[in-house]
Amino acid sequence: MSFFTEFRKLLSENIREYGMYIALFVIMAFFTVATNGLFLSPRNISNLINQTGYIAVLAVGMTLVIVIRHIDLSVGYLSGFLGALAAIAMADPRVIPNGLNLPAFVVIPIILFLGILAGMLTAFMVAQLGIPAFVATLAGWLAYRGALGLVTAGTGTIIISNEIFNALSNGFIPDISVASIETLIAVHKLTLLIGALAIALLIFGQVRDRRTKQSYNFEVLPMNMFILKLVFLSIIVGGITWILAGYNGLSWTVVIVLAVVIIYNFITTQTVLGRHIYAIGGNPEAAQLSGISVKKITYVVFGSMGMLSALCGIMYASRFKSATTTAGQLLELEAIAAAFIGGVSPAGGIGKVIGSLIGALVMGSLSSGMNLMGIDISVQYIVKALVLAAAVIFDVATRSRSK
């Protein structure tokens, strides 16, 4: 079989899995051409990632919620509300009446903990009282909207002056200084180093995985396709690293999002907890009879959603260096859209964390690209609608084909 036909075969067999990567690639390529390369400029990519970060974090949590056949509409305003609490806690009492002047490293854990509590409250209504998640979280949507209004009523927008806090969504990791090459290339060296390390780990992991699979006589990619995959992945990671290194290097947002995605990806694919979550999504009755506590898992999943909402709220407030009276508005729907674009099944049981990250990047790229092209915001919504619909149509079509 020639290289090309083998490539086509691989693509058509795995179109479901690779589809969204291809979509992201096509979208980015299109905007790069349409903006004469402006889209792919280091500054724009860096901005795009920082703007997508807080949605990606929400989308990761939402993935698990949808996998266990629920939904959470409350997360947008919850993150807005928790962001406002963070702003108040850090504010100077001379400026903001209830300000506590607490340092960021005290405030952040407290806010994350409050997020978990909020998620537990949702889980209590869903798992214990049996209220459908749509209704329970719609109530949460109303309540947190009101709560956000209350805490910002006297002050309006609360400006955040804590620099450590603001760096979370605007700052970059520090660089190492190597005097001898400082003058040669004006790039962010630690970022390059991390990128190189990531590529090495990636190749090492993939090769090891392939070996293990071979030892079980599982089907693996033919050698030339395997190398192609490695080259492709290395180019992507390397390319992004290079672009980012050319601006200010890795932002803290990238670090946070990657940490969240890596941890959640590990949990969903490698742990008992992950299996239990997907089992409940696939068939709750069978899961229950297999000794899995559906209630417990519901608490865990909504608790994690609450914690990630808090993280989103922190990143959002940090991004805008303030807590506004409408913070977090509609973020829940953006997260849900990102999850669906990323291949999460509305019927439950199917969906990957990494898919949702890609989904969030697709949404972010669309906004960023169309902004650069000067497209009217109303038109942007319609384009996003088409992309969302196309993603789900694609999902349904490829699924019915595989039957």
Partner 1 sequence: MNTPLLEMKNITKEFPGVKALNNVSFQVAYGEIHCLVGENGAGKSTLMKVLSGVYPHGTYSGEIHLGGKIQEFSGIRDSEKAGIAIIYQELALIPEMSVYENIYLGNEIKKGLQIDWNETIKQASAALEKVRLKVNPSTKVKDLGVGKQQLVEIAKALSRDVKLLILDEPTSALNEDDCENLFELLRGLKEHGVTCILISHKLREVIKIADSVTVLRDGQTICTLNAKKGEVSENALIKNMVGREIDNIYPSRIRLQSEKVVLEVKNWNAYDPNLGRAILKDVSFNIKKSEIVGFAGLMGSGRTELALSLFGNPDGYQIKGEMQVKGEKKHFSHPREAIDAGLAYVTEDRKGDGLILIQDIRQNITLANLREISNRGVINNNLEVKIANEYKKNLDIKTPSIEQKVVNLSGGNQQKVSLAKWLFVKPDILILDEPTRGIDVGAKFEIYTIMTRLVEEGMSIIMISSELPEILGMSDRVYIVSEGRVTGELPIESATQEKIMQLATN
Identify the bridge partners of residue 159 per DSSP, sorted by sequence position: 322
Whether residue 63 contacts residue 313, with contact meaning beta carbons closer than 8 Å, is answered with no
Smallest separation, CB 277 to partner 1 (Å):
12
Residues that bind partner 1 (CB under 8 A): 212, 216, 218-219, 270-273, 275-276, 278-279, 282-283, 285-293, 349-350
Rounded CA separation 159/323 (Å): 7
Min dist. Cβ of residue 124 to partner 1 (A) = 18
Side chain identity, residue 262: I
Q: Residue 321 or residue 399: which is nearer to partner 1 going by CB?
A: 399
Burial of 185 (C-beta count, 10 Å sphere; 0-12/13-18/19+): exposed
Shortest spacing between CB 281 and partner 1, in angstroms: 9
Phi-psi bin for 227: left (phi > 0), alpha (psi -120 to 50), beta?
Answer: alpha
Minimum Å distance from CB 403 to partner 1? 8
Shortest Cβ distance from residue 278 to partner 1 (Å)?
Answer: 7
Q: CB nearer to partner 1: give 292 or 317.
A: 292
- Smallest gap, in angstroms, from Cβ of residue 69 to partner 1? 12
The distance of closest approach from Cβ of residue 218 to partner 1 in the complex, given in angstroms and rounded to an integer, is 7
Nearer Cβ to partner 1, position 2 or 402?
402
Helix, strand or coil, per DSSP, at residue 41: coil
Complex with partner 1: residue 285 or 376, whichever CB lies closer: 285
Q: Output 276 or 319, the one with its CB closest to partner 1.
A: 276
In the chain, the amino acid numbered 382 is I
| Nearest by Cα to 111 from 318, 324, 336 | 318
- Three-state secondary structure of 127-139: HHCCCCHHHHHHH
- Residues 252 and 96: their CA atoms lie apart, in Å, by 28
Choice between 31 and 278, CB closer to partner 1: 278
Question: 273 or 393: whose CB is closer to partner 1?
Answer: 273
Neighbour-count burial of 381, counting CB atoms closer than 10 A to its CB (0-12 exposed, 13-18 middle, 19+ buried): exposed
Spatial CA neighbour of 313 closest among 74, 70, 48, 143: 74
